[in-house]
């Protein structure tokens, strides 16, 4: 674990910014002069490059009409494939193993429909009790479609403390009744990174397929899906990848599964040269493109063209290095300034186990979040008592991290949070 030293002064924050190799990338994003954005793990900010590529695609639509499918600056017909190539290094995959398509939950439905093959005793799906609700809804739905009762056939590994999932408990639950495992890469509340390599090895020892939800990790931490032999993965592109609200999702399928019949077939899963034959016999694409379903949402793909170029330019290794330094500094400041104010850091401190955000727990979390917004800091609340703070490598400065903690300290000292109800907004 890397050891850093800090001083409790604004000068220290300024010096960290002066030393930051990625500081110039703040200029690539639209940042508010009046607020500090700490919610990039829910919705990333707009970059100027993403804006430009969206405008480029709009321009092609305006000037080319239907010819935009094969002509223009970013021809639409192969756009999902080309963005898959750009995304591959972020998940440690071969270019042909990744596709930008669908949405997180639609892609999960597709992948479970493809890889969940109940046979004999192996009829159950293994998940965890801390996963994001949408994943659990989808898994229950898939079980019901196969005629199984989710109450008995969805096995959810329990957390020992309400924050983390112990890999030993996951492995112990890999019985001969499990047909498929679906787990998060990073827990969305606590930011814990699961040991994907180890869990994949243990699953495969037992003949079980395993896939991961990368929504809270892709764009923030390195992955090695191909080398780890992960069977499949899926993620959203609107958090750390800054693809915009409702941005098209991503999926990964290991090359050894190419040719496996898609559970949910649709015409964009066709071989490209056959797609417009309009034949009622489906000719499935040979690589990850087979697991597309419908026509891609071109306007939601368009910002990713520019956004992913930023990631290719900088590289996920450098992004991770700065992210770790930002969260380390944030935790140090919390320890120094807020230690006696009822706060608990609920994420792993070990950088090998910590994702891209800090999970700050407090019994008054909902009202503290409202007070932070009134002080022009944009945080994220997660029930029952978590304030998620996500300093993003591309656009958060160390000075902003310093200022967030100072404003939080003022809120607590002056009890400004008492002006608000301790309940979440409609959109938390």
Q: Annotated active-site positions, please?
A: 132, 213, 238-239, 388
Question: Crossing angle, helix 10-19 and helix 316-337, to 10 degrees?
Answer: 180
Buried b (16+ CB within 10 A) or exposed e, 286-311: ebbbbbbbeebebebbbbbbbbbebb
- Bridge partners of 276, per DSSP, are none
Assigned token pair, 421:
């109800």
User: Residue with structure tokens 């239907």?
Assistant: 66
- End-to-end CA, the chain: 33
- Any binding-site annotation on 238? yes
Indicate the SS3 state at residue 5. coil
- 295 marked among binding-site residues: yes
Structure tokens at 277: 């034959």
232 is in an annotated binding site: no
Q: Which residue has the tokens 């693809």?
A: 243
150 is in an annotated binding site: no
Whether residue 213 is annotated as binding a ligand: the answer is yes
**Would the annotation count 216 as a binding residue?**
yes
Structure tokens at 19: 């030393």
Q: What are residue 221's DSSP bridge partners?
A: 218
How far is CA 88 from its chain centroid? 14
- Longest CA pairwise span in the chain (Å): 70
Q: Does 69 appear as a known binding residue?
A: no
Whether residue 222 is annotated as binding a ligand: the answer is no
Structural tokens at position 87: 């995304």
Residue 237 near residue 249 (C-beta atoms within 8 A): yes
291 in Cβ contact with 114 (< 8 Å): yes
135 appears as a binding residue in the annotation: yes
* Residue 151 annotated as binding site: no
Q: What are phi and psi of 388, to 5 degrees?
A: -95, 130
How many C-beta neighbours within 10 Å does residue 164 have? 20
* Cα separations in angstroms, 382 against 39, 64, 118, 162: 12, 45, 35, 13
* Environment class of 320 (CB within 10 Å of its CB; exposed 0-12, middle 13-18, buried 19+): middle
E strands along 221-289, which residues? 232-235, 250-253
Q: What one-character DSSP code corresponds to residue 44?
A: P
| Pairwise CA distance, residues 40 & 176, whole Å | 40
Does 17 count as an annotated binding residue?
Answer: no
CB proximity list for 175: less than 8 A, separation 6 or greater: none
Q: Which residues are annotated as a binding site?
A: 104-105, 132-135, 213, 216, 238, 267, 295
Q: Which residues are annotated as a binding site for pyridoxal 5'-phosphate?
A: 104-105, 132-135, 213, 216, 238, 267, 295
């Amino acid at each position: 674990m890397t050891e850093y030293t800090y001083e409790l002064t604004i000068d220290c924050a300024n010096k960290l910014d002066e030393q930051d190799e990625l500081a110039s990338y703040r200029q690539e994003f639209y940042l508010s002069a009046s607020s500090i954005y700490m919610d990039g793990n829910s919705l990333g900010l707009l970059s100027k490059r993403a804006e430009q590529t969206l405008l480029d695609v709009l321009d092609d639509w305006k000037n080319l009409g239907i010819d935009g499918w094969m002509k223009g600056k970013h021809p639409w017909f192969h756009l999902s494939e080309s963005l898959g190539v750009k995304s591959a290094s972020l998940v440690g995959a071969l270019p042909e193993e990744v596709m930008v398509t669908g949405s997180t939950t639609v892609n999960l439905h597709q992948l479970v429909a493809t890889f969940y093959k109940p046979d004999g005793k192996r009829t159950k799906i293994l998940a965890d009790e801390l996963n994001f609700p949408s994943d659990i809804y989808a898994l229950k739905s898939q079980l019901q479609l196969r005629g199984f009762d989710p109450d008995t056939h969805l096995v959810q590994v329990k957390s020992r403390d309400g924050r983390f999932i112990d890999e030993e408990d996951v492995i112990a639950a890999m019985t001969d009744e499990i047909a498929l495992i679906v787990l998060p890469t990073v827990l969305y509340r606590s930011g814990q990174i699961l040991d994907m390599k180890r869990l994949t090895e243990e699953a495969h020892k037992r003949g079980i397929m395993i896939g991961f939800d990368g929504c809270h990790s892709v764009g923030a931490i390195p992955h090695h899906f191909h080398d780890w032999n992960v069977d499949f993965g899926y993620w959203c592109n609107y958090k750390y990848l800054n693809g915009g609200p409702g941005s098209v999702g991503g999926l990964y399928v290991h090359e050894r599964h190419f040719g496996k019949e898609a559970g949910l077939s649709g015409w964009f899963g066709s071989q490209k040269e056959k797609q417009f034959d309009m034949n009622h016999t489906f000719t499935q694409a040979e690589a990850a493109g087979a697991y597309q379903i419908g026509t891609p949402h071109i306007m939601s793909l368009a910002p990713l063209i520019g956004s992913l170029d930023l990631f290719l330019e900088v590289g996920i290794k450098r992004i991770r290095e700065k992210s770790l330094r930002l969260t380390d500094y944030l935790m140090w400041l919390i320890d120094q300034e807020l230690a006696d104010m009822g706060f608990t850091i609920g994420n792993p401190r070990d950088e090998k186990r910590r994702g891209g955000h800090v999970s700050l727990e407090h019994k008054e979390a909902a009202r503290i979040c409202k007070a932070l917004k009134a002080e022009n800091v944009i945080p994220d609340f997660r029930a029952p008592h978590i304030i998620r703070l996500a300093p993003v490598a591309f656009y958060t400065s160390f000075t902003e991290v310093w200022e967030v903690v100072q404003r939080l300290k003022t809120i607590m000292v002056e009890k400004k949070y008492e002006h608000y109800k301790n309940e979440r907004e409609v959109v938390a």
